[in-house]
Chain A
């Protein structure tokens, strides 16, 4: 176990102990069971308590597992749950924007499309659920990387192939770009993945503030930008962000979150 941190090991041992048969334990019992000095055990318990991983019963002074730990265990968001909750909002986004809508989650170094609403015209389209989009060039990928540190690390560590002349591949350029996305709360892909296609995406957060997915619209670049090299249409950005906020709210995410 070289390189392991002793206090983290001891904290883990305390959590295991409290998760065992005897659910509530006093400080003396915890310290003696684990062979720790009472002061050491108390310090660790106090830190765990601050993080919400341990709670102390006010009457008896005994310790038990905290609510935060239970939340962590249950927080895994099922992608089909996410789709069910996003359904009405993404339908409305497709209707108001006149473009196709995708909902994606981070998956194996890319973005997995978990929901797709057709562009509301009579053209022939196929359901793209299950397809993957690249992290570094797609709007959903950038929106996720800007708000989720794990995805950001993946993006920076991975190969970033050039799909078009506009694909941003350099590490420093990508980092700058993610900074902008983080500040403005939305990302775009202006012919960076496919010639002629542009997208706008915004992240969806769960109740702990984690960016669990991104919602985006995709259309011909002429319809997404004000002019061929102009800004992204503000109404489109507003519609995408409205939709992302609505899904975030449905997931119990904070109403007053900045992005």
Chain B
């Protein structure tokens, strides 16, 4: 990827640099005014698994990598700091770390969003008021992903940390805060901030006031002094100090999925994007209303530009989409590479009556059944591996349909079109199936890197590089569009069968 930019046809400067501090790697992408990629650099970091279910990152390593990829991308593009008008940040959400503000040293490895060590804590917090105890305030269920319980775990388990925190020596941050604090000087005046989208994943921020919720801080036993200031997603937080971009404004922060929503220019109510990777994250813009979900979705802040009103979103996630194709390749050995699933699936006309519900670790949104396990239903002697391949792709499409239905129920707004991104969008059959099952057009934009692009857009807006969201919309180019080609009766009939298959996954695991 990195040597792509020998491209003679790239546009003229100035540019925006976006840093994507992700779960497996850190990247820096430089964009021009048309939103085209000028340079990319990327570095992976170590995944640390101290115990089953525990996942950690070394935050010091991550900061070193972030500096390296920024320098790398700038050097590759042959730019100087005066060519770069702003730096934007996007990051893996919920991953939690704490550090000493006097030394800049992390007090412990970062606890990654996938880490489940706070399951027990979450159950304890839920003893009063249940899993939805703070849903009204935060939009979230009590779950181990979110940052608040992870802070509590660190305070309880790192020797002497609570005392140091109460003395005011300790700072908490998600990865956006850590990167911004270091970029803007660290121990020498680094700013300690987070943005509303990242703050909305802590279980500590009130969605309505966009401020830390004292009641929850008290219940979780978290001193307010460790928390960063909550700012908008697009404003100048400070200037970079040192490095190849010294003096350049640091001007945006967005959680990765929100950044993709922004990069896909979903600025209007009802506009939705879905990112197809190992799992899938679907976010729909609900304008200025935080909509409480009664159908198993999450309410979150989509973005906030400067002092404009915040824009909210409903979020639904699917645990297993691309992962099911990988499973067909690695565990079943039915294909050699992930794209071959399409080749195999195209050798038959339909699923032959087979439905595959990949509830490998339970059913998530909108069902939330931890006692469910995977099922292939409707098997007959007629069914071949090619029918199963079809069922695999259809599983991704039906799961998307379920999330869209839940969003329509909660918000009263039907998504008009679905904007897609991520690796699986190269699968034509899947994209057509998606349009068929949703009954709405599915559109793929020309830039695959929507996450970084979103962070760049927000930073560029903050410094006046782009004037408004209309200008960004004009940058959005359609690379392909799939329109529904399925009768209403077929769609309804097959959806009914899918839901029957879903029913058959439930209750497989005996409770204790």
Asked whether any CB of chain B lies closer than 8 Å to the CB of A257, the reply is no
Complex Cα distance A80/B424, Å? 11
B residues less than 8 Å from A235 (CB atoms):
9
Stretch at the interface among A20-28, A81-89, A144-152, A193-201: A81-89
Asked whether any CB of chain B lies closer than 8 Å to the CB of A18, the reply is no
Asked whether any CB of chain B lies closer than 8 Å to the CB of A120, the reply is yes
Asked whether any CB of chain B lies closer than 8 Å to the CB of A125, the reply is yes
Report which of B4, B36, B426 forms a contact with A95, defined as CB distance below 8 A: B36
Whether the Cβ atoms of B340 and A80 lie closer than 8 Å is: yes
CB B2 to nearest CB in A, in angstroms, measures: 11
Asked whether any CB of chain B lies closer than 8 Å to the CB of A79, the reply is yes
Complex Cα distance A87/B448, Å? 9
Given contacts A81-B340, A84-B339, A118-B478, contact A246 B446 (CB under 8 A): no
Report which of B10, B337, B343, B479 forms a contact with A117, defined as CB distance below 8 A: B479
Whether the Cβ atoms of B427 and A80 lie closer than 8 Å is: yes
Whether the Cβ atoms of A94 and B479 lie closer than 8 Å is: yes
Given contacts A95-B36, A238-B8, contact A80 B477 (CB under 8 A): no
Asked whether any CB of chain B lies closer than 8 Å to the CB of A29, the reply is no
CB B456 to nearest CB in A, in angstroms, measures: 15
Asked whether any CB of chain A lies closer than 8 Å to the CB of B7, the reply is yes
Asked whether any CB of chain B lies closer than 8 Å to the CB of A173, the reply is no
CB B81 to nearest CB in A, in angstroms, measures: 26
Whether the Cβ atoms of A92 and B340 lie closer than 8 Å is: no
Whether the Cβ atoms of A87 and B447 lie closer than 8 Å is: no
Main secondary structure of the interface of A (DSSP, over half): helix
Report which of B4, B340, B423 forms a contact with A78, defined as CB distance below 8 A: B340
Whether the Cβ atoms of A89 and B340 lie closer than 8 Å is: no
Nearest-neighbor residue (CB-CB) of B443 within chain A = A118
Asked whether any CB of chain B lies closer than 8 Å to the CB of A91, the reply is yes
Whether the Cβ atoms of B343 and A80 lie closer than 8 Å is: yes
Asked whether any CB of chain A lies closer than 8 Å to the CB of B342, the reply is yes
Q: Which of A42-100 contact B (CB under 8 A)?
A: 78-81, 83-84, 87-89, 91-92, 94-96
CB B250 to nearest CB in A, in angstroms, measures: 28
A residues less than 8 Å from B342 (CB atoms):
80
B residues less than 8 Å from A83 (CB atoms):
339, 426, 428
Nearest-neighbor residue (CB-CB) of A255 within chain B = B3
Whether the Cβ atoms of A89 and B4 lie closer than 8 Å is: yes
Whether the Cβ atoms of A95 and B8 lie closer than 8 Å is: no
Nearest-neighbor residue (CB-CB) of B337 within chain A = A81
A residues less than 8 Å from B10 (CB atoms):
96
Asked whether any CB of chain B lies closer than 8 Å to the CB of A1, the reply is no
Whether the Cβ atoms of A84 and B477 lie closer than 8 Å is: no
A residues less than 8 Å from B7 (CB atoms):
92, 96, 242
CB B173 to nearest CB in A, in angstroms, measures: 32
B residues less than 8 Å from A122 (CB atoms):
478
Complex Cα distance A132/B4, Å? 30
Asked whether any CB of chain B lies closer than 8 Å to the CB of A37, the reply is no
Nearest-neighbor residue (CB-CB) of B4 within chain A = A246
Asked whether any CB of chain B lies closer than 8 Å to the CB of A127, the reply is yes
Asked whether any CB of chain B lies closer than 8 Å to the CB of A116, the reply is yes
Contact mask A108-150 → B, CB, 8 Å, 1/0? 0000000011101010011101000000000000000000000
Given contacts A80-B340, A87-B448, contact A96 B480 (CB under 8 A): no
Total residues of chain A contacting the partner, CB 8 A: 29
Interface centre among B1, B478, B479 (most CB of A within 10 A): B479
Whether the Cβ atoms of A91 and B479 lie closer than 8 Å is: yes
B residues less than 8 Å from A120 (CB atoms):
446, 477-479
CB B444 to nearest CB in A, in angstroms, measures: 9
Report which of A92, A94, A127, A129 forms a contact with B4, defined as CB distance below 8 A: A92
Asked whether any CB of chain B lies closer than 8 Å to the CB of A31, the reply is no
Whether the Cβ atoms of A239 and B337 lie closer than 8 Å is: no
Nearest-neighbor residue (CB-CB) of A114 within chain B = B428
CB B264 to nearest CB in A, in angstroms, measures: 14
B residues less than 8 Å from A78 (CB atoms):
336-337, 339-340, 343
A residues less than 8 Å from B483 (CB atoms):
126
Complex Cα distance A239/B9, Å? 7
Complex Cα distance A246/B40, Å? 15
CB A239 to nearest CB in B, in angstroms, measures: 5
CB A130 to nearest CB in B, in angstroms, measures: 9
Whether the Cβ atoms of A116 and B426 lie closer than 8 Å is: no
Asked whether any CB of chain A lies closer than 8 Å to the CB of B100, the reply is no
Whether the Cβ atoms of A127 and B426 lie closer than 8 Å is: no
Interface centre among B3, B339, B423, B481 (most CB of A within 10 A): B339
CB B10 to nearest CB in A, in angstroms, measures: 8
Nearest-neighbor residue (CB-CB) of B479 within chain A = A117
Whether the Cβ atoms of B448 and A118 lie closer than 8 Å is: no
Asked whether any CB of chain A lies closer than 8 Å to the CB of B482, the reply is yes
Complex Cα distance A127/B429, Å? 12
Given contacts A120-B478, A238-B9, contact A91 B340 (CB under 8 A): no
Whether the Cβ atoms of B481 and A125 lie closer than 8 Å is: yes
CB B302 to nearest CB in A, in angstroms, measures: 25
CB B418 to nearest CB in A, in angstroms, measures: 15
Can you list 12 contacts pairing A with B, beta carbon distance less than 8 Å? A78-B337, A84-B338, A84-B423, A89-B4, A96-B36, A118-B477, A120-B478, A125-B481, A127-B428, A127-B481, A235-B9, A238-B8
